[in-house]
Amino acid sequence: MAGKEPNGHIQKLHLTWDDIDAMCVDVYGKMRRRHVRPDIIVGVSRGGLIPARILSGLLNNKNLSTMRVTFYSRPGVTKKRPRIAEDLSTDINGKTILIADDVIETGKTLQLTKNYLMSRGAKKAYIAVLLKKNRKTLVKPDFYSRTTDKWIVYPWERYVD
């Protein structure tokens, strides 16, 4: 749950496009220091699409694919468990995968995604997110830029209630 201000309102972290760019560059730098070069980048739709595309450019890797995993029924409200709504259409057998998403909160979505990709024959799967919530998660991201307890407002969510 997001932190609250003294007046009871939820604290929000409003991100700009420059913030997103800087966080992607930060994640990329951490990957370079560990010499991680994925064969395929998988963006978790919808939140991971933009970070995945930016990381694809930074890594000079055009092997970009997507998976849609549903977990939220509306902002702030999750279902009991995530499910794969759109499967990956790329052969990943024996490949090193970078799973890209915007945030890790509980880790349920990314745990499902990573386990699924490994069951499909991936050699290795790394998780990269822009933000990590300050709580225990089911899986730990291999790479992230920042932590927060606040409700995150992304620049691409301008038209979300």
**What whole-number distance in Å separates Cα of residue 48 and Cα of residue 23?**
13
Q: Indicate the Cα dihedral angle 21, 150, 77, 134, nearest 10°.
A: 90
**What whole-number distance in Å separates Cα of residue 113 and Cα of residue 101?**
11
Per-residue pLDDT of the chain (161 residues; tens, 9 = 90+): 455 555 567 899 999 999 999 999 999 999 999 999 999 999 999 899 999 999 999 999 999 999 988 865 555 556 677 778 878 889 999 999 999 999 999 899 899 999 999 999 999 999 999 999 988 889 999 999 999 999 999 999 877 65
Where would I find the H helices in the chain?
17-33, 49-58, 108-119
* Domains annotated on the chain, with CATH: 22-157 (3.40.50.2020)
94: left (phi over 0), alpha (psi -120 to 50) or beta: left
Q: What are phi and psi of 60, to 5 degrees?
A: 55, 45
